[in-house]
């Protein structure tokens, strides 16, 4: 073989090797793309707290909390993470300002509760339908008559009287998008992000209109100055200011209604009650005897009762909230199961009530007094 032939072959070899490397790189690149695409979609969850630096409590969109291993040292409460749908293993920490976070976390599917599930609050339901449901379902009526329905309604009343329940039933009836925001979560979970979250939720509500934006436990973000530490106080103030700004920026055509609920109206900042904000206040009180009977009926709907006089019970047992009645009914059912019976009897309700009273005596003195 001549010298020149040899040189030619060497050159060819070098070229072939370069080509090989190029294809290898290309192969790697494509393989990486394939791997990327093969990762199953991750579930978005929020870290609510870190336990012993090795575990994290995550809050998932289904509303459940899980304790999982924390693989990232930098993980902190408030982070949004992508978790494996099956194992809930934390795979990735999302950078802040991810919009999907709001969309994914707070958008409830349509609530299942209906007006049928609410006892003793007929007047309140009528009012709410007028000021929230009707403007969403028949806005033209208000245009014809030339009035503007209120933007926001505030439900106030003692714990367990059905405030959250009513808001969910309204959303069910309107077919509107239901966005729920819990005041205490805003402050505790989304530390430092409260104001941003409020802004994004309002934007989301407008985008998804017609929508009902439900702010539960609004006292947590709209309380007068608290005794808490300076930092959280400032955070509360910032969140509140954002909330007020959003409400002021509302117009009737937005097709977004806000329902707020609180069991501490006494500590609310008066600023949220100014005109154009929550100018309709609806008081939800403890049910009367008739209301109690209705609630007993609702919560025993699926129970095989034997000689139980619900009306009589409702007459005699005073000062019970809807939630109290529900827990008494559940406890009565439990007692029937414990007694190996297939029916629930009056004695079960007596047992449940006695147990309830004992619990109240133990716990209520410390509970906040409702005024």
Ligand X SMILES: Nc1ncnc2c1ncn2[C@@H]1O[C@H](COP(=O)(O)OP(=O)(O)OP(=O)(O)O)[C@@H](O)[C@H]1O
Instruction: Please give the residue ranges that form the binding site for ligand X (CB under 6 A).
Output: 118-121, 159-165, 261, 263, 295, 298, 322-323, 326
CB atoms within 10 A of CB 133: 20
Please identify which residue in 164, 223, 262, 300 interacts with Mg ion, judged by CB under 5 A: 164
CB of 296 to ligand X, least distance (A): 9
When CB distances are held under 5 to 8 angstroms depending on the partner's kind, the choice from Mg ion, ligand X, none that residue 152 binds is: none
Cβ proximity to ligand X: between 106 and 193 the closer is 106
What is the chain's alpha carbon radius of gyration, rounded to the nearest angstrom? 29
When CB distances are held under 5 to 8 angstroms depending on the partner's kind, the choice from Mg ion, ligand X, none that residue 183 binds is: none
When CB distances are held under 5 to 8 angstroms depending on the partner's kind, the choice from Mg ion, ligand X, none that residue 162 binds is: ligand X
Cβ proximity to ligand X: between 135 and 160 the closer is 160
DSSP code per residue over 205-242: HHHT-SEEEEEETGGGTSBSS-SS-HHHHHHHHHHHHH
Cβ proximity to Mg ion: between 70 and 164 the closer is 164
Residue that is written with structure tokens 């009977």 in the block? 293
When CB distances are held under 5 to 8 angstroms depending on the partner's kind, the choice from Mg ion, ligand X, none that residue 327 binds is: none
CB of 217 to ligand X, least distance (A): 7
When CB distances are held under 5 to 8 angstroms depending on the partner's kind, the choice from ligand X, Mg ion, none that residue 160 binds is: ligand X
321 near Mg ion (CB under 5 A) = no
DSSP code per residue over 14-50: HHHHHHHHHHHHHHHHHHHHHHHHHSPPPEEEEEEEE
CB of 124 to ligand X, least distance (A): 9
d(CA 322, CA 118): 9
How many angstroms separate the most distant Cα atoms in the chain? 116
CA nearest neighbour of 258 among 129, 360, 154: 154
Which sign, positive or negative, has the C-alpha torsion 124, 111, 257, 264? positive
The residues binding Mg ion (CB under 5 A) are 163-164
């Amino acid at each position: 073989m001549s010298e020149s032939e040899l040189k030619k072959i060497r050159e060819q070899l070098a070229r072939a090797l370069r080509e090989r490397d190029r294809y290898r790189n290309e192969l790697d690149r494509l393989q990486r793309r394939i791997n990327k695409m093969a990762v199953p979609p991750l579930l978005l969850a929020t870290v609510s707290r870190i336990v012993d630096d090795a575990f994290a409590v995550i809050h998932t969109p289904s509303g459940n909390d899980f304790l999982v291993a924390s693989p990232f040292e930098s993980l902190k409460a408030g982070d949004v993470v992508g978790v494996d749908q099956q194992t809930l293993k934390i795979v990735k920490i999302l950078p802040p300002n991810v919009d999907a976070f709001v969309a994914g976390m707070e958008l409830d599917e349509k609530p299942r509760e209906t007006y049928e599930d609410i006892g003793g609050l007929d007047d309140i339901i009528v009012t709410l339908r007028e000021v929230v449901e009707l403007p969403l379902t028949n806005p033209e009526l208000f245009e014809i008559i030339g009035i503007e329905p209120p933007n926001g309604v505030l439900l106030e009343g003692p714990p367990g009287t059905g405030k959250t329940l009513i808001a969910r039933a309204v959303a069910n009836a309107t077919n509107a998008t239901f966005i729920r925001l819990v005041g205490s979560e805003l402050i505790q979970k989304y530390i430092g992000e409260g104001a941003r979250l409020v802004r994004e939720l309002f934007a989301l509500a407008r985008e998804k209109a017609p929508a009902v934006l439900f702010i539960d436990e609004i006292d947590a973000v709209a309380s007068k100055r608290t005794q808490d530490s300076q930092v959280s106080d400032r955070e509360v103030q910032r969140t509140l200011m954002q909330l007020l700004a959003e409400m002021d920026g509302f117009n009737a055509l937005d097709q977004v209604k806000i329902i707020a609920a609180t069991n501490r109206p006494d500590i609310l900042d008066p600023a949220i009650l100014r005109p154009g904000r929550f100018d309709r206040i609806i008081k939800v009180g403890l049910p009367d005897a008739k209301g109690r009977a209705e609630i007993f009926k609702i919560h025993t709907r699926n129970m095989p009762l034997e000689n139980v006089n619900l009306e009589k019970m409702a007459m005699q047992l005073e000062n019970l909230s809807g939630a109290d009645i529900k827990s008494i009914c559940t406890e009565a059912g439990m007692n029937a199961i414990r007694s190996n019976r297939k029916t629930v009897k009056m004695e079960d309700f007596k047992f449940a009530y006695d147990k309830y009273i004992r619990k109240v005596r133990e716990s209520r003195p410390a509970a906040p007094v409702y005024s």
